[in-house]
Chains A and B, each alone.
Chain A
Amino acid sequence: MSGDHSDATIARRVRRLETLLEEKGLLTGGELDEAIDSFLAGASPANGARVVARAWTDAAFRSRLLADGTAAVRELGSMEGSYQRLRVVENTATTHNVIVCTLCSCYPLRLLGPSPSWYKSEAYRSRVVREPRAVLAEFGLELPPGTRITVWDSSAETRYMVLPRRPDGTEGMSEEELAGLVTRNALIGTAVL
């Protein structure tokens, strides 16, 4: 949204602020790079896909995941301490879940990777709580008229992830192959598989 001019201006101001904070001893040289690197390294939709594939293939894990997402996800390692609480909501033949944060942009970063721009947009945030069917149709998702939609507006500390339905004809697939089918939008609820 910014043109080159304002981009250069803000880039200069950010650099100036970094320098000021370093001079005041509030920031050390490598600190920002570290924060950025750990963010980029730890956050990926592959994490969420792995959780989903496990839930599809292990009924006991699925039960634990739906009962206490925080603890179940921890079993798979590498996702410690990311959220105060994770709640996984399951799509069924008659129900569909979709996630939003109308007030800002809360999102289960670790499991889903950096959020897409549309998730942070006013268009998505304003409309999905009011007319979810119309919004999902814009993503190419037409749900049967009888499907009950629940919109989860993340207004506090809990982060939500959708457990999509396992596609038909995937009975013989390995957990790894199944994980490869899971898309980021399916974990948000703006797509099905």
Chain B
Amino acid sequence: MARINDVGGVEGFGPVDTADDSEPFHADWEARVFGLMNALRAQGIFNLNEFRDAIESMPPGEYLAASYYERWFAAIRTLLERKGVIEPGELDD
């Protein structure tokens, strides 16, 4: 079935907010998540397609509510838990 990321032609997302915002990161943790993704990929812990797959597999409500780098972090967690690198819940408070 189609996944939530597959939005081409889907109605209802409203007008484009065309504000010229090209700040790469809006918080330090976003930069860290960016770095983590690249480091883990470089080490072969997961590949780019697995990473995309993990983002797309988010429950639709969570995907839509999450910011760009929140999605990245969710995908990193999913993959690291699936591969046994970390324990489920190990990052929670």
User: How many interface residues does chain B have, given as a range?
Assistant: 35 or more
Which residues of chain A are within 8 angstroms of B8 by Cβ–Cβ distance?
102-103, 125-126, 129-130, 153
For B19, the chain A residues whose CB sits under 8 A away are: 116-118
The reply to whether the CB of A10 lies closer than 8 angstroms to some CB of chain B is yes
Judged by a CB distance under 8 angstroms, whether B9 is at the interface is yes
Q: Given A26-B45, A118-B17, are A32 and B32 also a contact pair (CB < 8 Å)?
A: yes
Q: With an 8 A cutoff between CB atoms, is A18 at the interface?
A: yes
Give B10-51 as 1s and 0s: 1 = Cβ < 8 Å from A's Cβ atoms: 110111111111111001110111111011101101000000
Q: Please indicate which of the listed interface residues B5, B18, B19 has the most CB atoms of chain A within 10 Å of its own CB.
A: B18
Contact A11 B86 (CB under 8 A): no
Interface positions of A from 114 to 167, Cβ below 8 Å from B:
114-118, 120-127, 129-130, 135, 138-140, 153
Q: How far is the CA of A184 from the CA of B43 in the complex (A)?
A: 32
The total number of A-B Cβ pairs within 8 Å is 137
- Taking A13-B92, A125-B8, A130-B8 as contacts, is the C-beta distance between A104 and B18 under 8 angstroms? no
Point out the residues of chain B lying under 8 angstroms from A117, CB to CB: 17, 19, 21, 68
Q: A114-B23, A139-B16 are in contact. Are A26 and B85 (CB under 8 A)?
A: yes
Contacting residues, chain B, for A18 (C-beta < 8 A): 32, 36
How close is B86's CB to chain A, nearest CB, in angstroms? 6
CA distance A18 to B32 in the complex (A): 9
Chain B proximity mask over A12-30: 1 for CB below 8 Å, otherwise 0: 1111111011001011000
Is B7 an interface position by the 8 A CB rule? yes
* A184–B67 touching, CB < 8 Å: no
Residue from A10, A21, A129, A190 in contact with B29 in the complex, judged by beta carbons closer than 8 Å: A10
CB proximity of A142 to chain B, nearest CB, Å: 14
Q: Is the CB of B7 within 8 A of A102?
A: yes
Q: From residue B13, how far is it (CB to closest CB) to chain A in Å? A: 4
- Chain B hits for A34, CB < 8 A: 35
For A43-80 the 0/1 string (1 means CB < 8 A from B) is: 00000000000000000000000000000000000000
Question: Is A7's CB within 8 Å of the partner chain B?
Answer: yes
Q: Is the CB of B91 within 8 A of A13?
A: yes
For A102, give the chain B residue with the smallest CB separation. B8
A190 to B31 alpha-carbon distance, docked (Å): 27
Residues on B close to A: CB < 8 A? 5-11, 13-24, 27-29, 31-36, 38-40, 42-43, 45, 52, 55-56, 64-68, 70, 73, 76-77, 80, 85-86, 90-93
